[in-house]
Chains A and B, each alone.
Chain A
């Protein structure tokens, strides 16, 4: 039901639009674990339940990761809404993640 909101261009970003993101990790490599924790904190704080997160383990799906253009891990892809964006790293620099995700209040 929330999926419909993705197509609803009138809705304000960061409020009701569902942000679809994908995080590529490699098993439990330290940077990957940190990225998951950092991203979950960001999502809890800024996106509440208006996001859809898929975590892809490159160790389990290497060929898919290759097809998706993943180079280094961890890396985060914002699938929708447009514009698409990608962030590499353990997401410790929160402001650059917020900016890439197009989340309002990024200046906080």
Chain B
């Protein structure tokens, strides 16, 4: 049964998320220096998942990361993080850098724009910090300003090329439409990433339970649906009486942080 698999089907090297349960199911975390797409409806925990992964990398393994916040301002995200006791404010900018990519409503738009400048800025910042992680959270908010699906797609491809050129482990969040929950905003992205995660949030027995469905290139069969629970230590798989190490057990109400 264990015939050697062709190279393109070999599991990719992984970077742990530090999110208990998830790293088991994904056999080690997110593919290293590749892009993971995190999809879900508003409030499903996309931002929380991404931020927690980044924080774990920075705090537990002394890695460095950049969080590009297109949807919420960095201070809003920091506020959400405070609710989880993540100690976010204690981290210096040299280790975890937030780029507030939320265009102020006072900014006037006149014609087409692109992300070439932003990506040049991010490249410089990444090199200066030695960042190995980057999160693009809610990029659809900025791209919607283009009011042109072709231009939006052009910019998504630009980001993809940038990620491929810049050896970085990346997470891109993608919204699932409330009206058509099967279709993500940038559905086609599923086919250009190495890992796709779909987050769902359900209320079970009064607690907010998160499930995720994972598709990982090179993994067969596709990883099963895992239940994760948001806690002050981030996401954990539904902890059926497990005495897990170091995780705080207090669950907190999930804020709309996605």
Contact = CB atoms under 8 A, between A and B. Distances in A.
B113 A58 contact: no
Contacts of A75: 113, 117
A8 B101 CA distance: 36
B103 A87 contact: no
A24 B110 contact: no
A35 B113 CA distance: 9
Contacts, number: 108
Contacts of A31: 111-114, 116
The listed residue with most A CB atoms (<10 A of its CB), out of B99, B116, B118, is: B116
B124 A93 contact: no
B113 A66 contact: no
B121 A87 contact: no
A29 B114 CA distance: 9
Interface string A52-93: 000000110011011000111111000000000111111111
A89 B113 contact: yes
Given A66-B125, A71-B103, A72-B142, A90 B120 contact: no
B150 interface: no
Contact of A92 (B110, B114, B142): B110
Interface residues of A, number: 36
B159 to A, nearest CB: 12
Interface residues of B, number: 25
Report which residue of A24, A74, A93 has the largest number of chain B beta carbons within 10 angstroms of its beta carbon.
A74
A27 interface: yes
Nearest to B103: A71
Contacts of B124: 62-63, 66
A9 B103 CA distance: 30
A34 B112 CA distance: 10
Query: Which 3 pairs, one residue from A and one from B, show the smallest C-beta to C-beta distance?
Result: A73-B117, A92-B111, A62-B124
Given A72-B117, A75-B117, A89-B111, 6 more contacts: A62-B125, A65-B120, A73-B118, A88-B107, A88-B109, A96-B108
11 contacts: A31-B116, A35-B111, A58-B116, A65-B121, A71-B117, A72-B103, A73-B113, A87-B108, A87-B110, A88-B103, A96-B108
